[in-house]
Amino acid sequence: MSTGAGTGRRGLRRAGGALFGRRARLRWVHLVLGGALLMPYWMLSTVVLGALDPALGPLVQILLYFAALALSLPMAAVTALVPTVRALEGAAARALCAPARAEEVSTGPARSWAARRRTAGWYVLHLLFGGLVSGMTLAGTPFAVVLMISPLGGPAVDDVVRFWQDRGFPSWLPGPLLGLALLLLILATSAGLGALLARWAPVLLGPTPEERLAAAERRATVLAQRNRLARELHDSVGHALSAVGIQASAAARVLRSDPDFAAEALQAIGETARAAVAELDAVLGLLREEDRADAGPAGPTLAGLDDLLRQLARTGVVVDAELAPGLHRLPAAVSRDAYRIVQEGLTNVLRHAGPAPAGLRVGLAADRLEIELTNPLGPARTGRPGGGRGLRGIGERAAVLRGGCAAGPTDDGTTWRLAVWLPLEGAR
């Protein structure tokens, strides 16, 4: 029994919320505003049809009023083709929907004819439902109040009173009951039509398939930009911090025994830090979408490999480099990403193999650039299946240029090998 009573109370609360809750009140206000918007179109239609002629009989006037309503809706649909109508209706319609679905309603202007047609359909429904609810509210509510306060229900319901009296009911009962039933009918109609509008709002005022596709493309562009900035920060700042850490440790070990080497290491730290700050400023300029004439190139290219190799030599990483001639003539996008790939590969050597010799080959074969980097795989290097952020960034850079990469230990298990190939046409 208690379970049934609890279920009944919950049902009553839900029904009360649907009729009297905050969202029901907002929907009623929205519908009444729709009725107000309908009035200019309806009045113009009545003038066009001549429905205001007092010589017409009541029945003819009522029929002309309904005809004016039918004529006013196409007129409203035409005006709803204005792009800003969707922005206004969308902002108002969000109050009708549950929070989870309110975000599906667009609040921007309609930029295509498909969006304008949908907005016109919504606008017609809003005005039609609003006209019905407004008419019921303005005409039905006073009549219901009169019925409820009239002891005998009023002369308008004498026949109904006699019908109830013939069946043994008190003569005062029909008026209050009919008035209450009329009020409930008005509330239920407002709640039902408001719920229908709330259900159709995301469909008619939501983004069209073309707008969804454009939004997805914008999100993809933003994500690609974020990934690019993350790669730039990881490769430039990560490399600099790794080099600074190695050089600082070396300087601390020989500070007293070899002051000259320590001074050289500290000087290298300063140069590395200044270069890192310059690259960080360039990356932050991209993040802030700065467009300065003196911003310079977006990053170092293969033409700066000699400086990178000299910097690594100061940390103890001796690189046996084999560089093909003509690298400075490569497309800028390929050259920049190739530099970052070499930089990240050598940084991984520094991080995981320490001051160990490495082999670097950058060559040109047919229509692609080939990069191969090898280093001894000692016990200090821990295996990382799939690689970390650095290897993932190398793969992303290669994929952007429609190239590929492979990384892992060689068959004999003594050498780590990174191989990357980049089509020279990939920059296009």
Helices and strands in the chain, H and E counts: 14, 5
Dist. CA 239–CA 346, nearest whole Å: 9
Residue 212 lies in a domain: no
Structure tokens at 264: 């050289």
Tally of domains within the chain: 2
Per-residue model confidence as pLDDT tens for the chain (428 residues): 455 555 656 666 776 666 777 888 888 999 999 999 999 998 888 888 876 666 666 777 778 888 888 899 999 999 999 999 998 888 888 878 777 778 888 888 888 888 999 999 999 999 999 999 999 999 888 888 877 776 544 454 555 556 556 656 565 556 677 788 889 999 999 999 998 998 898 889 888 888 888 888 888 888 877 777 777 777 667 667 777 776 777 678 777 777 777 787 777 777 777 777 777 777 677 666 554 444 444 568 888 888 888 877 777 778 888 888 888 888 888 888 888 888 888 888 877 776 778 899 998 887 889 999 998 876 554 444 444 577 888 888 888 888 999 988 888 878 889 999 999 874 44
Domain contains 215: no
**Domain edge (last residue) among 154, 174, 207:** 207
**Sheet with 404-409: strands ordered across:** 319-323, 358-365, 368-376, 415-423, 404-409
Same domain flag for 324 and 405: yes
Q: Give yes or no: residues 320 and 397 share one domain.
A: yes
Burial class (CB in 10 A: 0-12, 13-18, 19+), 322: exposed
**Domain range enclosing 183:** 2-207
Q: Are residues 192 and 298 in the same domain?
A: no
Q: Please, where are the H alpha helices in 288-331?
A: 305-314
For residue 278, count other CB atoms closer than 10 A to its CB: 12
Burial class (CB in 10 A: 0-12, 13-18, 19+), 367: exposed
Could you tell me if 258 and 188 lie in one domain? no
Give yes or no: residues 286 and 165 share one domain: no
With respect to residue 267, please indicate whether it lies within any of the assigned structural domains. yes
On whether both 146 and 238 belong to a single domain, the answer is no
Q: Helices marked H in 50-171 — which ranges?
A: 58-79, 84-93, 99-102, 113-135, 141-149, 158-166
Best CA proximity match to 372, nearest among 393, 352, 351, 358: 358
The three-state secondary structure class of 407 is: strand
Within this chain, do residues 100 and 41 fall inside the same structural domain, yes or no? Answer: yes
Residue 335, judged by CB atoms within 10 A of its CB (0-12, 13-18, 19+), counts as: buried
- Cα 103 off chain centre by: 10
Q: Is residue 428 part of a domain?
A: no
Using a 10 angstrom Cβ sphere, with 0-12 exposed, 13-18 middle and 19 or more buried, the burial of residue 209 is exposed
Q: Is the domain of 109 the same as that of 245? A: no
- 282 and 240 co-located in one domain: yes
Residues 340 and 232 in one domain: yes
Rounded Cα gap, residues 262 and 314, in angstroms: 11
Residue 407 lies in a domain: yes
Q: Is 220 a domain residue? A: no
Ranges of beta strands (E only) in 213-266 are none
Where among 156, 172, 207 does a domain terminate? 207
pLDDT 10s digits, 392-423: 888 888 888 889 999 888 888 788 899 999 99
Contacts of 300 (CB under 8 A, 6+ apart): 279, 308, 336, 339
Q: Residue type at 363? A: G
Last residue of a domain, one of 155, 180, 207: 207
CATH code, domain carrying 261: 3.30.565.10
Examine residue 98 and state whether it is found in any structural domain, yes or no: yes
Q: Are residues 145 and 251 in the same domain?
A: no
Question: Does 187 share its domain with 243?
Answer: no
Q: Identify whether 111 is part of a domain.
A: yes
Which of 330, 325, 329, 345 has the alpha carbon at shortest distance from 423?
330
Contacts 24+ apart (CB under 8 A), 325-330: 326/364, 327/302, 327/303, 327/362, 327/364, 328/301, 328/302, 328/303, 330/301, 330/302, 330/369, 330/424
